[in-house]
Amino acid sequence: MDVAEERRFREFVSARSPALMRLGYLLTGGDQHAAEDLLQTVLAKAAVRWSRIDEPEAYVRRAMYRQQVSWWRLASSRRETVVAEAPDAPGRDDTHTADLKLVLHHALARLTSRQRAVLVLRYFEDLPEAEVAQIMGCSVGTVRSTAHRSLARLRTLSPELSDLRSPHHPFEEVTS
């Protein structure tokens, strides 16, 4: 990679890492460490191919989805997160937000990886159905039907989500 390409890569990483981390967090089911691993793995792969990537944002998002699906398929799936110290208690009362995060986390964990990916890409990332279909390598109809069935499954398995719904977009509050 020449100096100009390296500078372009660094600028992309600096500008887009927060949004890509949020995507990784949702794709990994709320596991911060797994999200960091996912993003780092994909960025390392992108760095090698950087000069040949025309649309970096689309490439990295697609690679994150595909890498996560690869990890989900492994038999030795990560179920526990080991940390050195317990996190500090929050200074303010975020009970509603914490409840919403837990319920959403458990609800998303009940979905298949494909269902979760469609919901994350379609509603959190707010991508059009055509772009989600392109990222996932399927038809727009498949995205629509998967999103419909996934939301119906969430309503059936986690009716408590409707009780905890915030007046804002639910992903805004959960990921902020």
Going from N- to C-terminal start, the domains of the chain cover 3-73, 95-175
154: tokens are 């969430």
**Res 30: pLDDT:** 83
Q: Which residues of the chain have pLDDT under 50?
A: 75-76, 164-176
**Res 133: pLDDT:** 92
Contact 163, 155 (CB under 8 A): no
35: tokens are 């999200």
3-class secondary-structure state, position 74 = coil
Distance CA 157, CA 106 (A): 10
Provide CATH code, domain 95-175: 1.10.10.10
Residue with tokens 């020449």: 2
